[in-house]
Structure formats: structure tokens, C-alpha cells
Amino acid sequence: MWPPDGRVLLVEVLHSVAGLDAADLRRVSEVDVSGTRYRLLDLIAMLKAKAYNVRKFKQDDNPPRHDREHLELISQCVPGFLREVHDGAVHLQKAKDPAAKAALANAADAVSAAFAALTDDDTSATIRAQGIAPETLIPAEFKDSPIPKVANACKHQLPRVISAGISK
């Protein structure tokens, strides 16, 4: 499908992304735009990749990279992304929707991936160096989540997020 203004669009299919492993590359969000389905890395995978890029690639090259700005933008979006996944699952569960089981597992998986990324010392230190407290990326209300795996993750992992990356 061509855009209305006639521009040719380039779509790149990535088989690897610096800083991510195979499991991260399976973390995708699907978006339907005008009947075309796109699979995009979810925000947790993007957060990890951008933190890696900030650490490993010269940012003031010619042309300059914009990984720091991207990391800050992605960091602002992560709590909303996690809330959307979480709240959608809770809503389906309350409605006794047959899709609730998969949505609950997806929500628990997203929160688990966020905690895994934010307890990684290198990722956490990189985020902190940008003036972002990693613990603020996990919505505070998740400690009272009706999804047991989410509430338990907050109880056990949030203290690790708070201390991760501080000595780096």
C-alpha cells in the first residue's frame, strides 16, 4: 500500500538488534494500520536496546546519534505501556472474557521483562545516568495488583530495581 502522497516507504526487517537476545526479539506488539499488520518491538525491548546503544556507541559522532533522547522518550512511555497491558488483562478477567487467561499471562510476562531489564546493573546505571530513577518506570499501583504474579514481582523485585546500577 502506498501512502496518499505517493512516497515509497522502506520497511526494514531486523533479525538482530544490539543489546537484545532472541527472547527480547520475540517481545513484540502488533499494530494494525489501514489493514496492514506491523510487528514492533515492545517498549521493554526498546528500552534495553536504547540503554545498550547509549552505553556502547559514540553519541556525538557525525552525524550524531540520538539514543539518549530516545531512551528518555521510551522511559516516559514504559509506565503507560505496562498499565495498558495490565489494565486490559484485569478488565478481561473481571468480564470473564475467554481471552483473559492469555492477557493475564502477557501482563505478567511484560512486568517480569521490565523487572529483568531494570534489575540489570548496566541498564539501570545507564538509565540513572540520564536522570531517570528506574523504579519510577514500574507503576506504583502494581504493588496492589489483582494479578498475583504482578503483585509478587513488585514485592520481591522492586527493592532490587531501587538498588540496581547505583554503584556503576
| Average model confidence (pLDDT) across the chain | 92
Which residue's C-alpha cell is 527480547? 24
Which range (10-14, 147-151, 156-160) has the least confidence? 10-14
Collect all residues with Cβ–Cβ distance below 8 Å to 4 and sequence separation of at least 6.
none
* pLDDT class of 147 with cuts at 50, 70, 90: very high
CA–CA separation, 18 and 95 (whole Å): 40
Element (H, E) at 83: helix 67-94
Domain ranges within the chain, ordered by starting residue = 43-163
Could you give phi then psi for residue 68, rounded to 5 degrees?
-60, -45
pTM, 2 dp: 0.87
Residue with the larger pLDDT of the pair 29 and 139: 139
pLDDT in tens, 28-59: 888 888 888 888 899 999 999 999 999 999 99
- Mean pLDDT score, 140-168: 92
